[in-house]
Amino acid sequence: MSSDVEKSYCPRDLSQCRVYIAGGYDGKDTQETQHNRRLGIRTAATVLLAGLTPITGFIHTEYSLVLRSGEFISQDMYRTMRLSLFSACHCVLVVNEHKESEPPVEVLAAYQWGMPIFYDLGSLLEWAKGEGWK
């Protein structure tokens, strides 16, 4: 992908640049799952503190805390919601990537759409603050 195409994804105001935070949600046990979710939420906070707008499905797992008896949110419902949020973003930042498993569905979609994908905050910020912003 050419750098001109990549830089056209974000608006000039960095706070309007929407970054989807993607990564493995579930772990092999409860402790690893909680670690993954905390890492995803912490990464979103770091992106916000850097002046960009984070969007992530990591915080949406909290719906389970308020479900009433008999209510159930399926994995498909979460996936649909995450993809809807993802489609409004300019780029993807991947956290806690698991090499042995398939990439998150958002990363696969980003590849298909030609959306920039980053694996560290430094590269994302370099891209966001690059010459295309001037």
Q: How many domains does the chain have?
A: 1
> Residue 98: what pLDDT?
58
Amino acid letter for position 115: M
64 three-state secondary structure: helix
pLDDT above 80: residue 9 = no
> Residue 5: what pLDDT?
43
Q: Is residue 19 part of a domain?
A: no
Angle, CA of 73, 17 and 128, to the nearest 5°: 130
Q: Is residue 119 part of a domain?
A: yes
Q: Report the C-alpha gap between 109 and 50 in whole angstroms.
A: 25
> Residue 12: what pLDDT?
59
Q: Enter the pTM of the model.
A: 0.79
Residue 90 burial (CB count, 10 A): 21
The pLDDT tens digits of the residues spanning 36-77 come to 889 999 999 999 998 899 999 888 778 888 999 999 989 899
Mean pLDDT computed over every residue of the chain: 82
Could you tell me the sign of the dihedral formed by the alpha carbons of 47, 57, 95, 25, in that order? positive
Q: Is residue 46 part of a domain?
A: yes
Q: Is residue 120 part of a domain?
A: yes
Residue numbers of the domain that contains 51: 3-9+24-133
Residue 12, C-beta contacts closer than 8 angstroms, at least 6 positions apart? 133
